Chains A and B, each alone.
Chain A
Amino acid sequence: MIDFEGMVRTASIAPAWTIDADAAAWRKIALACSDEGGRLVSIWGQDDGEGFLVFAAFVFSQGMLIAKCRAIDGKFRNLVDIFPCAGRMQRAVADMLGIVAEEGDGRPWLSHGAWPEFPLRRDYAPAGDFAPVEEHYPFVTVEGEGVHEIAVGPVHAGTIEPGHFRFQVVGEKVLRLEERLGYKHKGIEKAFEGMALFEGAELAARISGDSTVAYSWAYAMAAECICGIVPQPRASFLRGLFLERERIANHLADLGALGNDAGFAFGLAQFSVIREDMLRANNEMFGHRYLMDAIVPGGVSRDVDGQGKSRLLGQCEAIRKKLADLHEIYIDHTGLQDRFLTTGRVSPELAAKLGLTGLAGRASRIACDLREDHPYPPYDMLDVAMATHHAGDVAARVSVRFEEIVESLRLIETLIGKMPEGDIMSEIPACSGFGVGWVEGFRGEVLVALEAENGIIRRAHAHDPSWQNWPVLEFAVIGNIVPDFPLINKSFNLSYSGHDL
């Protein structure tokens, strides 16, 4: 372990430490993390009444270190030269709190001129209605013979989430892509303030619908960390079960959609059938198609009986069989493979440099999977096998999904087979303190940092792995042709809602 003076181990079941840092130590920790091959997970800020604090969560080989640093004169030290993914997170801190990174990109990120002040400041008092300011956001342009611009979104031709993409192209070839996000900003972090811990769980479950289990678990873990509670063994097993089912359902949807985006609608129909069976089983057995609110602070709110277990096992077997057939079809389909192979390539070197994470990272030889790297219950007894590829193209991201579904099916079977009897809930008292939850969702690592006082939330920060991967997408499309962008984008399947908060 890289040992820093004043490190404190949190009570979280995930290995996480906190440290108070000054401006110099802040940079020093970041550099040490980068040297060790670690990564930056998230940056966020807080108004603690005396001034502004800025937090950064670094991952070392032994676990997570959350550094806390006080901003001086509304400024904090820039980390973008060490971790490129820090750029947008620092801009988001500036939008929400009005403290800026020194010599950083001065453009707003989440704010589109829709709010006049800084919502996360303590003295923020929304003064009724205010007129939105017209936005002037300078995109970087490319000039030259035959170069032109294509502006796509935020409203798209299909029913999908909003995001703006500015392409600089020559003919059909993409020279540069710049993203503009923040259209789905809903003020979630502000809404957390003042909620009771239990209330907050419901909001956390609704940050990003496709990752509701991951967010619920991360939130619950953070709340339990504050109160020093370890969930019951059976609750841990059920949490693992829910998370793996969420992973499978999302991977199935993505695999179908990837086929569809390559003009192979057959794939979408088949994968949708399997996924729909899962969602209906979720609804009948656990009361919600996407397992929303199944995980709550202290444990889980849904249990499974013997009959349910055999139904889940039967479903695993059915999925495994159908998946094998569909995998063969995808692999053997010349037209599909022609679209997938070499498209949207992120080389392992580039991925490492830009901090690509999660599923997309594993397709570019970034071997990070919380379930294997830092296995806390129930993953400590599962021996998760990580799926990694090195090609970094759409085909690799498809392969990782196929392999992860197979592994998740095995995990579910083991979890059901070894599930202990016992309680599924522990009492959560009204506690004070700082807590952190860290979970490997289907996209990558989800982080929730929570600060509460007597059971009331003072600050909650939720981080989606899309923060790391959106900027990499800009690089993945360079040199590809414009009509391949939707396919590349889908192969990353990044969250708008979880990113814009």
Chain B
Amino acid sequence: MNAFGIFTQLLQLLLTVLLAPLLLGWVNQCRAWLQNRKGAGIEQPYRKLRKLFYKDAVIANNASPLFRMVPYILFGSMCLAAAIVPSLATDLSFSAAADAIALVGIFALARIFISLAAMDIGTAFGGMGARREMLVGFLAEPALLMVLFTASLISHSTSLTETVETLAHRHFEIYPSMAFAAIAFLMVLLAENARIPVDNPASHLELTMIHEAMILEYSARHLALIEWASSIKLFAYVSIGIALFVPWGIAQASDWLGIAFALPILIAKLLAGGFGLALIETVMAKQRIFRAPEFMGTAFLFGVLGMLVHFLLGA
């Protein structure tokens, strides 16, 4: 552990947590533009967070302590996830603590807690949301692991920073296996972040919701933390995508100049990624819930294909 590592780690964590709502705002703004609407502006998620933090929380009488704890657990796990995904630099102090498999574990941990909290109050919607979330989650996780394994096979390490080092800073190579992995990853990203076609983040129909159904009972600061955590999750996922598939520009160890360049490059990539996400969400409709297994099955298949290609071609 060195001073540079600590500095980049803190910088990245701070930027991720603070900029994550902006990415969400950007995606929503792009969606509005693509639908010929004016949109609420990219700073809208911040306004929503401020509004929620000012409000008094309403909590059901039969809520257990778990219900109150979960927003903090969720926020904490998403911050940790965002800290270990190299988005600005590869020299991250925390990265030694958790590799790609642990990252999937962190997401799973958050999922388990939010599902428990959803069922805690005992409303029909909470149970329904938790049930659907688990359906999507247990199908998405193996697909995500396959994607990460494909990348790990190339770098011979499950450490994300090591993978980025290999992909971005060693000699340039085109990996056909990563093309399959990229498709699989995109599908996982859509499913895991409650985006269309698996879930609809803008829906007000309680019977169709997945993620939103789980948090219907939350209000004020708790809801704010959950919303914030969701935006950090989206940011983390997009960052994983960037790290695996377009890693060029992420700063190396002890590269102060690299850091200076890494930020604008990261923002440019996020803008492009956010627009792409909005485009997908605009042209697609939401699928029936029972299409989700097909959708995630396809993602898993692409992940496996990526690994097979790696073994066949050695690349």
B288, A483: Cβ atoms closer than 8 Å: yes
| Chain A 171-206: CB-based contact to B (< 8 A → 1; otherwise 0) | 010000000000000000000000000000000000
Within 8 A of B (CB), among A328-371: 333, 335-336, 338-339
Asked whether A481 is an interface residue with its Cβ less than 8 Å from the other chain, the reply is yes
B286, A339: Cβ atoms closer than 8 Å: yes
Which 9 pairs between the two chains have the least Cβ-Cβ distance?
A263-B286, A158-B204, A335-B285, A269-B35, A486-B205, A483-B208, A157-B206, A264-B285, A150-B124
Please name all residues of chain B whose beta carbon is closer than 8 Å to the beta carbon of A139 when the two chains form the complex.
none
Within 8 A of B (CB), among A249-293: 259, 261-266, 268-270, 273
A172, B286: Cβ atoms closer than 8 Å: no
- Which chain A residue has the least Cβ–Cβ distance from B283? A266
| Chain B 185-227: CB-based contact to A (< 8 A → 1; otherwise 0) | 0000000000011001011111111001000100000000000
Q: Which of B128, B284, B290 contacts A263 (CB 8 A)?
A: B284
A285 to B: closest C-beta gap in Å:
25
Pairs A–B under 8 Å by Cβ, sample size 28: A150-B125, A150-B128, A152-B124, A156-B204, A157-B206, A157-B216, A159-B204, A172-B290, A261-B208, A263-B196, A263-B285, A263-B287, A265-B202, A266-B35, A266-B282, A335-B284, A335-B285, A338-B285, A338-B288, A338-B291, A339-B285, A339-B287, A481-B289, A481-B290, A483-B207, A483-B208, A483-B288, A485-B207
Q: Give the B-binding residues of A (Cβ under 8 A).
A: 148-152, 156-159, 172, 259, 261-266, 268-270, 273, 333, 335-336, 338-339, 481-486
Q: Give the A-binding residues of B (Cβ under 8 A).
A: 31, 34-37, 124-125, 128, 196-197, 200, 202-209, 212, 216, 282-291
- Which chain A residue has the least Cβ–Cβ distance from B32? A269
A273, B36: Cβ atoms closer than 8 Å: yes
Complex-state Cα separation, A298 to B282, whole angstroms? 49
A484, B288: Cβ atoms closer than 8 Å: yes
Complex-state Cα separation, A259 to B289, whole angstroms? 17
A266, B204: Cβ atoms closer than 8 Å: no
A101 to B: closest C-beta gap in Å:
33
Complex-state Cα separation, A268 to B282, whole angstroms? 11
Complex-state Cα separation, A477 to B200, whole angstroms? 21
- Which chain A residue has the least Cβ–Cβ distance from B199? A263
A262, B207: Cβ atoms closer than 8 Å: no
A156-B204, A266-B34, A268-B35 given; name 18 further pairs at CB < 8 Å.
A149-B124, A157-B205, A158-B205, A159-B204, A172-B290, A263-B197, A263-B286, A265-B35, A266-B283, A269-B35, A335-B197, A335-B285, A338-B287, A339-B287, A339-B288, A481-B288, A483-B289, A486-B207
Please name all residues of chain B whose beta carbon is closer than 8 Å to the beta carbon of A333 when the two chains form the complex.
285
Please name all residues of chain B whose beta carbon is closer than 8 Å to the beta carbon of A148 when the two chains form the complex.
124
Complex-state Cα separation, A483 to B209, whole angstroms? 8
Listed residue (A156, A265, A269, A338) with the most chain B CB atoms within 10 angstroms of its CB: A265
Complex-state Cα separation, A476 to B79, whole angstroms? 46
A172, B289: Cβ atoms closer than 8 Å: yes
Main secondary structure, interface of B, reads loop
Please name all residues of chain B whose beta carbon is closer than 8 Å to the beta carbon of A482 when the two chains form the complex.
128, 207
Please name all residues of chain A whose beta carbon is closer than 8 Å to the beta carbon of B284 when the two chains form the complex.
263-264, 335
Please name all residues of chain A whose beta carbon is closer than 8 Å to the beta carbon of B125 when the two chains form the complex.
150
B2 to A: closest C-beta gap in Å:
48
Please name all residues of chain A whose beta carbon is closer than 8 Å to the beta carbon of B34 when the two chains form the complex.
266
- Which chain B residue has the least Cβ–Cβ distance from A149? B124
Please name all residues of chain A whose beta carbon is closer than 8 Å to the beta carbon of B207 when the two chains form the complex.
150, 152, 482-483, 485-486
Please name all residues of chain A whose beta carbon is closer than 8 Å to the beta carbon of B285 when the two chains form the complex.
259, 262-264, 333, 335-336, 338-339
Complex-state Cα separation, A158 to B287, whole angstroms? 21
A196 to B: closest C-beta gap in Å:
42
Please name all residues of chain B whose beta carbon is closer than 8 Å to the beta carbon of A261 when the two chains form the complex.
205, 208
Complex-state Cα separation, A262 to B287, whole angstroms? 8
Please name all residues of chain A whose beta carbon is closer than 8 Å to the beta carbon of B37 when the two chains form the complex.
269
B36, A486: Cβ atoms closer than 8 Å: no
Please name all residues of chain B whose beta carbon is closer than 8 Å to the beta carbon of A157 when the two chains form the complex.
204-206, 209, 212, 216
B308 to A: closest C-beta gap in Å:
29
Complex-state Cα separation, A337 to B36, whole angstroms? 23
Complex-state Cα separation, A148 to B200, whole angstroms? 25
Complex-state Cα separation, A150 to B213, whole angstroms? 13
Complex-state Cα separation, A159 to B286, whole angstroms? 21
Complex-state Cα separation, A333 to B197, whole angstroms? 13
Complex-state Cα separation, A486 to B204, whole angstroms? 10
- Which chain B residue has the least Cβ–Cβ distance from A340? B285
B130 to A: closest C-beta gap in Å:
13
- Which chain A residue has the least Cβ–Cβ distance from B216? A157
A269, B208: Cβ atoms closer than 8 Å: no
A12 to B: closest C-beta gap in Å:
41
- Which chain A residue has the least Cβ–Cβ distance from B286? A263
A265, B31: Cβ atoms closer than 8 Å: yes
B19 to A: closest C-beta gap in Å:
25
Please name all residues of chain B whose beta carbon is closer than 8 Å to the beta carbon of A338 when the two chains form the complex.
285, 287-288, 291
Complex-state Cα separation, A268 to B285, whole angstroms? 12
Please name all residues of chain A whose beta carbon is closer than 8 Å to the beta carbon of B212 when the two chains form the complex.
157
If the complex has contacts A149-B124, A151-B124, A157-B216, are A265 and B282 also in contact, measured as CB distance less than 8 A?
A: yes
B191 to A: closest C-beta gap in Å:
14
Please name all residues of chain A whose beta carbon is closer than 8 Å to the beta carbon of B289 when the two chains form the complex.
172, 481, 483
Complex-state Cα separation, A157 to B128, whole angstroms? 15
Complex-state Cα separation, A149 to B124, whole angstroms? 8
B72 to A: closest C-beta gap in Å:
25
Please name all residues of chain B whose beta carbon is closer than 8 Å to the beta carbon of A485 when the two chains form the complex.
207
A110 to B: closest C-beta gap in Å:
25
Please name all residues of chain B whose beta carbon is closer than 8 Å to the beta carbon of A149 when the two chains form the complex.
124
A159 to B: closest C-beta gap in Å:
8
Complex-state Cα separation, A152 to B216, whole angstroms? 13
Please name all residues of chain A whose beta carbon is closer than 8 Å to the beta carbon of B202 when the two chains form the complex.
265
B160 to A: closest C-beta gap in Å:
32
- Which chain A residue has the least Cβ–Cβ distance from B206? A157
B152 to A: closest C-beta gap in Å:
34
Please name all residues of chain B whose beta carbon is closer than 8 Å to the beta carbon of A152 when the two chains form the complex.
124, 206-207
Please name all residues of chain A whose beta carbon is closer than 8 Å to the beta carbon of B200 when the two chains form the complex.
263
